[in-house]
Amino acid sequence: MARQRNQKGARRRHRDSYNHRRVQARTQKMVSMNRFAFFCFVLASCGAVIVTVLPQKQKLAAMQEELSIVQVQEREARDQRDFQRRKYRAIQEGIGYKEIEARDRLDLHKPGETVFRFPSSN
């Protein structure tokens, strides 16, 4: 009887050991599958972020290019405005400027005077 108990105990231990190994193997497979699933989730999330950010990045680059063009145009308009203001002040304040401007437009000069003309950049 004691021997039967020992045999039953040995069988039970063997069976428990077998079940334990099987459960461990199944657990390892589940852990591996969970890691793989997490990796796929992270990869998909990164792809989604890239897909949503890329058009915005392109739109930003186009807007920055447009901004630089507008800034150049603004700078040119400001320079033109400043030139016109200086010219207006010169006309208002100095009688000598009016004479020079009139002689320049009419292509006249005083006797003995040397006139230098530079091509305008406009």
In the chain, where the domains are located: 2-106
Q: Are 91 and 98 in contact (CB under 8 A)?
A: yes
Residue 1 has pLDDT above 60, yes or no: no
Distance CA 73, CA 95 (A): 33
- pTM, 2 dp: 0.45
Enumerate the H helices of the chain as residue ranges.
2-93, 95-106
Query: Whose CA is closest to 61, among 72, 53, 49, 50?
Result: 53
Q: Can you state the angle between helices 2-93 and 95-106, rounded to 10 degrees? A: 90
| Radius of gyration, CA atoms only, the chain | 45
Higher pLDDT, 122 or 67: 67
Report the C-alpha dihedral over residues 35, 39, 44, 47, rounded to 10 degrees: 170
| 27-67 pLDDT, tens digit each | 999 999 999 999 999 999 999 888 888 888 899 999 999 99
